[in-house]
Amino acid sequence: MNIKEKIGLKVKSMREEKGFSIEHLANISNVDRNYISDIEKGQRNVSITIIEKIIHALDVDFATFFNDKSFVK
């Protein structure tokens, strides 16, 4: 799995853990819903500013978001 796919799965699992729809996450993060959908599918080489918006909307820190065995080399 490449890093874009790993990020996508992590965003999707954290969003679902919060009980958020893609539309809700889009609204509170100020990121387009189609863009979030593409990220979750592993189709976007997402930038650090977009990651920050999504992570903060999910109410977690970078360390928490990336502290996942899927991100280990």
State in angstroms the smallest separation of the CB of 16 from its own copies. 21
Tokens standing for 13? 């699992």
14 counts as binding its own copies under rule CB under 8 A: no
Q: Which is nearer to its own copies, 16 or 68 (CB)?
A: 68
Q: Tokens in use for 58? A: 């999910």
**Residue 1 sits in the site that holds its own copies (CB under 8 A):** no
Q: How far is the CB of 11 from its own copies (least distance, A)?
A: 11
Q: Which helix (H) or strand (E) holds 6?
A: helix 3-18
Identify the sign of the CA torsion 63, 65, 66, 70.
positive
